[in-house]
Chains A and B, each alone.
Chain A
Amino acid sequence: MADKWILQELAMTRKTVDESIRNFEFAAAADSLHDFTWNKLADWYLEVAKIEKEKSSILIYILKNVLIMWHPFIPYVTETLWESFNDDILMMKQWPAVAEATGGDSFAVIQEAITGIRNARSENKIEPARKVKAVVVGPNADLLVEQAALLCGLRTGVEAVESAQSAPNEAAIRVVLGETEIYLLGAVDPEKEKARLSKEKENLEKLIAGLSIRLENQEFVSRAPAHILKAEQDKLARYQSELANINDALKA
Chain B
Amino acid sequence: MKNELDKTYDSSLFEDSIYAKWEKSGFFNPDLSNLPDFAPSYTVILPPPNITAKLHIGHSAMLAIEDLMVRFHRQNGYRTLWVPGTDHAAIATQNMVEKKLMTETGKTRHALGREAFLKEVDIFVENTQATILKQTRKMGASLDWSRLAFTLDEQRQKAVKRMFLDMHREGVIYRGERIVNWCPRCQSTLADDEVEHKEQKAKLYTFKYSADFPIPISTTRPETKLGDTGLAVNPKDERYSKYIGEEIETDFCGLKLKIKVIGDRKVEMDFGTGALGVTPAHSAVDWQMAEAQDLKKIKVIDEAGKIKDGFGEFSGLSTLEAREKIVSQLSADGLMIKEEEIENNLSCCYRCGSVIEPLPSLQWFISVDAPASRLNGRSMKEAALEVAKNNEIKFLPDRFGKRYIDWMENLHDWCISRQIWFGHSIPAWYRGEETYVGEEAPEGEGWVMDTDTLDTWFSSGMWTFSTLGWPDNFENGVKSGDLARFHPTQVLETGYEILTLWVSRMVMMSLFAIGEIPFEHVYLHGTILDAKGKKMSKSKGNGVDPLEVIEKYGADAVRLSLLMGATPGNDARYSEEKVESKRNFVNKLWNISI
List chain A positions with a Cβ less than 8 A from chain B: 21, 24-27, 30-31, 34, 37-38, 41-42, 46, 63, 66-68, 70-81, 83-86, 89, 91-95
CB distance from B42 to the nearest CB of A (A): 11
Q: Is B489 an interface residue (CB 8 A)?
A: no
- B71 near A75 with CB under 8 A, answer yes
- B560 near A92 with CB under 8 A, answer no
* B487: chain A residues within 8 A (beta carbon): none
Among residues of A, the one whose C-beta sits closest to the C-beta of B71 is A72
List, sorted by A's number, 6 A–B pairs whose CB atoms are closer than 8 Å: A26-B566, A41-B592, A77-B586, A81-B5, A85-B2, A95-B75
- B21 near A89 with CB under 8 A, answer yes
- A84 near B5 with CB under 8 A, answer yes
Chain B positions 396-415 with a Cβ under 8 Å from a chain A Cβ: 396
* B594: chain A residues within 8 A (beta carbon): 81, 84
Q: Is B316 an interface residue (CB 8 A)?
A: no
Given known contacts A21-B72, A24-B396, A72-B72, is B25 in contact with A81 (CB within 8 Å)? no
- B588 near A72 with CB under 8 A, answer no
A176 to B188, CA, bound (A): 83
- B67 near A75 with CB under 8 A, answer yes
- A71 near B75 with CB under 8 A, answer yes
- B75 near A74 with CB under 8 A, answer no
- B565 near A42 with CB under 8 A, answer no
CB distance from B53 to the nearest CB of A (A): 26
Interface size class of B (residues with CB under 8 A): 35 or more
- A79 near B21 with CB under 8 A, answer yes
A79 to B5, CA, bound (A): 13
- A94 near B593 with CB under 8 A, answer no
- B75 near A73 with CB under 8 A, answer no
- B18 near A80 with CB under 8 A, answer yes
Among residues of B, the one whose C-beta sits closest to the C-beta of A45 is B592
- B2 near A84 with CB under 8 A, answer yes
* A70: chain B residues within 8 A (beta carbon): 589
- B71 near A27 with CB under 8 A, answer no
Q: Is B3 an interface residue (CB 8 A)?
A: yes
Among residues of A, the one whose C-beta sits closest to the C-beta of B566 is A27
- B25 near A89 with CB under 8 A, answer yes
Given known contacts A21-B68, A37-B589, is B567 in contact with A27 (CB within 8 Å)? yes
A93 to B590, CA, bound (A): 19
Among residues of A, the one whose C-beta sits closest to the C-beta of B394 is A24
Given known contacts A73-B563, A80-B18, is B11 in contact with A92 (CB within 8 Å)? no
Task: Kindly list 8 other residue pairs between chains A and B, CB separation below 8 angstroms, not including A46-B592, A73-B563.
Answer: A21-B72, A26-B68, A27-B563, A68-B75, A72-B70, A73-B560, A84-B5, A89-B25
Given known contacts A27-B565, A77-B9, is B65 in contact with A91 (CB within 8 Å)? no
Q: Is B140 an interface residue (CB 8 A)?
A: yes
CB distance from A89 to the nearest CB of B (A): 6
- B75 near A91 with CB under 8 A, answer yes
CB distance from A140 to the nearest CB of B (A): 30
* A26: chain B residues within 8 A (beta carbon): 65, 68, 563, 566
List chain B positions with a Cβ less than 8 A from chain A: 1-3, 5, 9, 11, 14-15, 18-19, 21-22, 25, 27, 33, 65, 67-72, 74-77, 140, 142, 396, 521, 523, 554-557, 559-560, 563-568, 585-586, 588-590, 592-594
- A81 near B142 with CB under 8 A, answer no
Among residues of A, the one whose C-beta sits closest to the C-beta of B568 is A24
* A30: chain B residues within 8 A (beta carbon): 560, 563-564
A76 to B582, CA, bound (A): 14
CB distance from A39 to the nearest CB of B (A): 11
CB distance from B81 to the nearest CB of A (A): 14
Given known contacts A80-B14, A91-B27, is B140 in contact with A75 (CB within 8 Å)? yes
> Which residue from B5, B77, B396, B555 sits with its C-beta under 8 Å from A76?
B555
- B142 near A91 with CB under 8 A, answer yes
Given known contacts A27-B564, A68-B75, A75-B140, is B556 in contact with A81 (CB within 8 Å)? no
A92 to B586, CA, bound (A): 21
A84 to B566, CA, bound (A): 32
- B18 near A79 with CB under 8 A, answer yes
- B68 near A76 with CB under 8 A, answer no
* A75: chain B residues within 8 A (beta carbon): 18, 67, 71, 140, 142, 556
Count chain A CB atoms within 10 A of each CB in B33, B71, B589 and give the residue with the most.
Answer: B589
* A42: chain B residues within 8 A (beta carbon): 588, 592
Given known contacts A26-B566, A77-B9, A77-B11, is B593 in contact with A95 (CB within 8 Å)? no
A83 to B565, CA, bound (A): 30
A140 to B559, CA, bound (A): 45
CB distance from B567 to the nearest CB of A (A): 6
> Which residue from B69, B70, B564, B568 sits with its C-beta under 8 Å from A34?
B564
A21 to B42, CA, bound (A): 14
A-B pairs, top 10 by smallest CB distance, nearest first, are A74-B556, A72-B71, A72-B72, A80-B14, A84-B3, A72-B68, A30-B564, A81-B593, A75-B140, A85-B2
A72 to B74, CA, bound (A): 10
- B585 near A34 with CB under 8 A, answer yes
A85 to B9, CA, bound (A): 16
- B22 near A91 with CB under 8 A, answer yes
* A71: chain B residues within 8 A (beta carbon): 71, 75
* B585: chain A residues within 8 A (beta carbon): 34, 38
A31 to B585, CA, bound (A): 12
A252 to B562, CA, bound (A): 59
* A95: chain B residues within 8 A (beta carbon): 75-76
A46 to B593, CA, bound (A): 11
A133 to B318, CA, bound (A): 104
* B589: chain A residues within 8 A (beta carbon): 37, 66, 70, 74, 77-78, 81
- B14 near A76 with CB under 8 A, answer yes
CB distance from B568 to the nearest CB of A (A): 6
A72 to B71, CA, bound (A): 5
A120 to B33, CA, bound (A): 57
- B586 near A63 with CB under 8 A, answer no
* B75: chain A residues within 8 A (beta carbon): 68, 71-72, 91-95
Given known contacts A84-B5, A85-B1, A91-B22, is B27 in contact with A21 (CB within 8 Å)? no
A41 to B560, CA, bound (A): 19
- B74 near A73 with CB under 8 A, answer no
A27 to B68, CA, bound (A): 11
A76 to B21, CA, bound (A): 11
Among residues of A, the one whose C-beta sits closest to the C-beta of B34 is A92
* A46: chain B residues within 8 A (beta carbon): 592
* B71: chain A residues within 8 A (beta carbon): 71-72, 75, 91
CB distance from B525 to the nearest CB of A (A): 10
A84 to B556, CA, bound (A): 18
- B25 near A91 with CB under 8 A, answer yes
* A41: chain B residues within 8 A (beta carbon): 592
CB distance from A68 to the nearest CB of B (A): 7
* A72: chain B residues within 8 A (beta carbon): 67-72, 75
CB distance from A32 to the nearest CB of B (A): 11
* B27: chain A residues within 8 A (beta carbon): 89, 91-92
* B586: chain A residues within 8 A (beta carbon): 74, 77
* A81: chain B residues within 8 A (beta carbon): 5, 589-590, 593-594
A178 to B62, CA, bound (A): 48
Among residues of A, the one whose C-beta sits closest to the C-beta of B68 is A72
